[in-house]
């Protein structure tokens, strides 16, 4: 079982507490370059970043520089997760990633390409059906720089979130509670709440939290059903990467030199924006994944207990 991989390392409750604090510290360290750059830029323009909301803060720097510096904190966080697992828990990256004997990169690329095509299709469908809501934002040189930054760093950002929530927290809460549904629900809700400060929430209302929590639940389900992070890593990377490259808006967290810019007025999101992905698209993706990878025993994998396997590879602390 994927959650039981935590037994291959040291899994005392206090290790997860200390590990979480170390990871938070790593993220804070990674935010220092962005903070310094934003302060210097604001000083040049005679402004102060104190009291700025996140939407205003994201427009202080040039979009490519802003994206690069913003993503550095996630890269630092990912390094923090890996180091905590290795040195504090004595757990391998493979055990944190999957229950298989090795990481299955074919699964990653399948999810990445599938969701990349589908999500891009949704963007172009909306563009051609409502062209008045978009303007062409494409500029060759800034876009090429964006491509380099996005391709190199966005997978690190999404991997940090997956290794933290569906990996470190999922396994930690699972072995501490001997449960699967508790870490599934807990990590999904916390993952959603982590996005509450995003500009989208202030523009679209708290209803958008249904999308964030629903996305976390979807990623948690595919992690538990597939006994590994590979599908979640691929999906999340494709979701953020293709969005950053294709479309931006003044009220979104990712301000980029994308191909298109959404100029429509943000309103309370409705069925298409929130409910269709969570209640239609994600269930269809679960169906596709379940058929491709022959998932069975859904009840036990999602709601069952976590049992320590009697294996010499598992470290006990008695």
- Domain segments of the chain as ranges: 3-303
Q: What is the mean pLDDT of residues 137-166?
A: 97
Distance CA 256, CA 66 (A): 9
**Tens-place pLDDT, residues 40-78:** 887 787 666 665 555 566 667 899 999 999 999 999 999
Strand partners, 135: 261
Length of the chain in residues, anyone? 318
Instruction: Count CB-CB contacts under 10 A for residue 138.
Output: 12
- Average pLDDT of the chain is 91
Cβ-based neighbours of 157, under 8 Å, separated by 6 or more: 71, 74, 75, 78, 240
Helix (H, G, I), strand (E, B) or coil at 13: helix
Does the pLDDT value for residue 312 go beyond 50? no
**pLDDT score of 55:** 58
Does the pLDDT value for residue 204 go beyond 70? yes
Does the pLDDT value for residue 303 go beyond 80? yes
**pLDDT score of 57:** 62
**pLDDT score of 316:** 44
Least-confidence region, from 47-56, 132-141, 208-217, 252-261: 47-56
Q: What is the mean pLDDT of residues 118-126?
A: 94
**pLDDT score of 199:** 79
Distance CA 272, CA 224 (A): 27
Do the Cβ atoms of 207 and 268 come closer than 8 Å?
yes
Cβ-based neighbours of 24, under 8 Å, separated by 6 or more: none
Do the Cβ atoms of 265 and 138 come closer than 8 Å?
no
**pLDDT score of 317:** 42
**pLDDT score of 47:** 67
Pairing of strands 260-262, 247-249: parallel
Do the Cβ atoms of 286 and 222 come closer than 8 Å?
yes
**pLDDT score of 205:** 80
**pLDDT score of 267:** 67
**Tens-place pLDDT, residues 28-44:** 999 999 999 988 887 78
């Amino acid at each position: 079982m994927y959650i039981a991989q935590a037994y291959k390392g040291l899994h005392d409750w206090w290790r997860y507490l200390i590990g979480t604090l170390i990871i938070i510290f790593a993220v804070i360290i990674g935010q220092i370059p962005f903070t310094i750059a934003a302060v210097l830029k604001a000083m040049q323009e005679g402004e102060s970043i104190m009291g700025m909301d996140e939407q205003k803060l994201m427009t202080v720097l040039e979009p490519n520089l802003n994206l690069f510096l913003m993503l550095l904190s996630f890269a630092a966080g990912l390094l923090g997760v890996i180091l905590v697992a290795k040195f504090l828990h004595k757990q391998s990256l493979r055990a944190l990633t999957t229950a298989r004997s090795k990481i299955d990169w074919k699964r990653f690329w399948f999810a990445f390409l599938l969701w990349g095509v589908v999500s891009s299709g949704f963007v172009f469908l909306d563009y051609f059906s409502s062209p008045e809501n978009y303007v062409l934002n494409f500029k060759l040189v800034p876009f090429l720089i964006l491509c380099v930054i996005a391709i190199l760093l966005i997978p690190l950002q999404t991997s940090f979130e997956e290794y933290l929530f569906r990996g470190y927290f999922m396994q930690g809460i699972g072995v501490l509670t001997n449960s699967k549904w508790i870490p599934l629900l807990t990590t999904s809700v916390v993952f959603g709440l982590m996005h509450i400060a995003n500009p989208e929430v202030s523009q679209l209302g708290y209803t958008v939290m249904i999308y964030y929590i629903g996305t976390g639940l979807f990623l948690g389900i595919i992690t538990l059903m597939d006994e590994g992070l590979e599908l979640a890593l691929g999906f999340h990377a494709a979701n953020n990467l293709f969005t950053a490259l294709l479309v931006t808006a003044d009220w979104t967290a990712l301000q980029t030199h994308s191909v298109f810019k959404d100029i429509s007025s943000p309103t309370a999101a409705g069925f298409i924006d929130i409910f269709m992905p969570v209640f239609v698209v994600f269930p269809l993706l679960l169906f596709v994944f379940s058929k491709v990878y022959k998932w069975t025993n859904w009840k036990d994998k999602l709601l069952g207990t976590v049992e320590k396997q009697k294996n010499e590879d598992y470290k006990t602390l008695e």
